[in-house]
């Protein structure tokens, strides 16, 4: 198939890419742009490791075509920290001990970010529901949930 010229805005920066129309956002991020913080696994929107923000909403980049992102804002994990200053969610994940192998963590943090933007003072049950599309096999989710509660400004025990 013939390639299309495409302008993508990723983490506030404009990128010109030449891609076939069937290529996914995930593939273009990782292969063309070297943004490998967005992870690859099931390619079927089942595991959530490729979660990015598209106009502020959490999406699985493995089932979004790059061409669908024209004129829209994409945020990946590389776009969260400001210089050396970590995003509060990134800080909270470290502080809560929520990181083990870390492969699910970029997707988790972005799913949490989109959720907290909508719901800044959630209960633990709401957080668990919001993260149910993101599989983690290392942590049992507990410290991840604590991290999100912490980032939302609540002492971990307050909203159980």
Partner 1 sequence: MTARRIVGRSLPRMDAPGKVTGTAIYAADFALPGMLYGRVLRSRDPHGRLVRIDASRAARVRGVRVVLTAADVADVRYGGSVKDEEVFARERVRFAGQPLAAVAATSPEAAAEALGAIEAVVEPLPPIVDVTEALAAGAPLVHEGWASYTALPILHRDGNVCNRARIVVGDVERGFEEADRIFEHRFVTRSVHQGYTEPRAAVAQWDSAGQVTVWSNTQLPFEIQSTLSEILQVAPSKVRVVVPGVGGGFGGKLRVGVEHFAALLARKTGRAVKVMTTSEEELTAAYARQPAIVELRTGVTRDGRLLAREGRLWFDTGAFAGSGPGVASVATLMLAGPYRIPHLLLEGYAVYTNKTNFGSFRAPSGPQANFAVESQMDIIADALGLDPLDFRLKNIVREGEEGPTGQVLTAVGLEECLRKAAAAIGWHDRRPGPRRGKGIACGWWTTTGGSSGVYVKVNPDGTVALNTGAAEIGTAALTGAAQVLAEDLGVELADINVVSADTLSTPFDFGAQGSRTAFAVGNACRAAVADLKRQVLALAARQLGVDEGALELRDGAVVAPAEGKRMTLAELARISQASGGGLIAHGTFVAPPTPYDAKRVEGHVYPAFHSPSFHAHAVDLSVDTDTGEVTIHRYVVAQDVGFAMNPTYIEGQIEGGVAQGLGQALSEEIVYDAGRVLNANLTDYKMPTAVDVPRVESILVQHPSLVGPFGAKGVGEPPNIEPPAAVANAVASATGVRITSLPITAEKVALALRERER
Q: Which is nearer to partner 1, 86 or 154 (CB)?
A: 86
Q: Which is nearer to partner 1, 64 or 76 (CB)?
A: 76
- The correct pick among 15, 67, 103, 159 for binding partner 1 (CB under 8 A) is 103
Interacting stretch for partner 1, rule CB under 8 A, among 2-10, 55-63, 91-99, 114-122?
Answer: 91-99
What is the arrangement of strands in the sheet containing 73-75, beginning at the earlier edge strand?
A: 13-19, 4-10, 73-75, 51-54, 57-60
CB of 77 to partner 1, least distance (A): 4
74 is a site residue for partner 1 (CB under 8 A): no
Per DSSP, the three-state class of 30 is helix
Number of neighbouring beta carbons within 10 Å of residue 32: 16
Cβ proximity of 127 and 121 under 8 Å: no
Sites for partner 1 among residues 137-156 (CB under 8 A): 137-145
Sites for partner 1 among residues 104-133 (CB under 8 A): 104-106, 109, 125, 127-129, 131-133
| First-last CA distance in the chain | 52
Per DSSP, the three-state class of 24 is strand
Cβ proximity of 111 and 64 under 8 Å: no
Taking the C-alpha atoms of residue 69 and residue 140, their distance in angstroms, rounded to an integer, is: 33
Binding site for partner 1 (CB under 8 A): 30-31, 35-44, 46-47, 49, 76-78, 80-81, 86, 90, 93-95, 97, 99-106, 109, 125, 127-129, 131-145, 160
């Amino acid at each position: 198939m013939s390639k299309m010229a495409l302008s993508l805005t990723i983490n506030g920066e404009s990128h010109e890419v030449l891609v076939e129309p069937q290529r996914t956002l995930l593939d273009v991020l990782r292969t063309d742009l070297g943004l490998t913080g967005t992870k690859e696994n099931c390619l079927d929107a089942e595991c959530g490791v490729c979660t990015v923000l598209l106009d502020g909403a959490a999406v699985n980049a493995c089932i979004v075509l790059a061409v669908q992102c024209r004129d829209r804002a994409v945020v990946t994990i590389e776009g969260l920290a400001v210089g050396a200053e970590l995003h509060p969610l990134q800080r909270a994940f470290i502080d809560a001990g929520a990181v083990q192998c870390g492969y699910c963590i970029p997707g988790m943090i972005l799913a949490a970010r989109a959720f907290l933007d909508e719901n800044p003072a959630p209960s633990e049950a709401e957080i668990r529901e919001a993260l149910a599309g993101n599989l983690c096999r290392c942590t049992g989710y507990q410290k991840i949930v604590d991290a999100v509660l912490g980032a939302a400004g609540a002492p971990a025990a307050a909203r159980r």
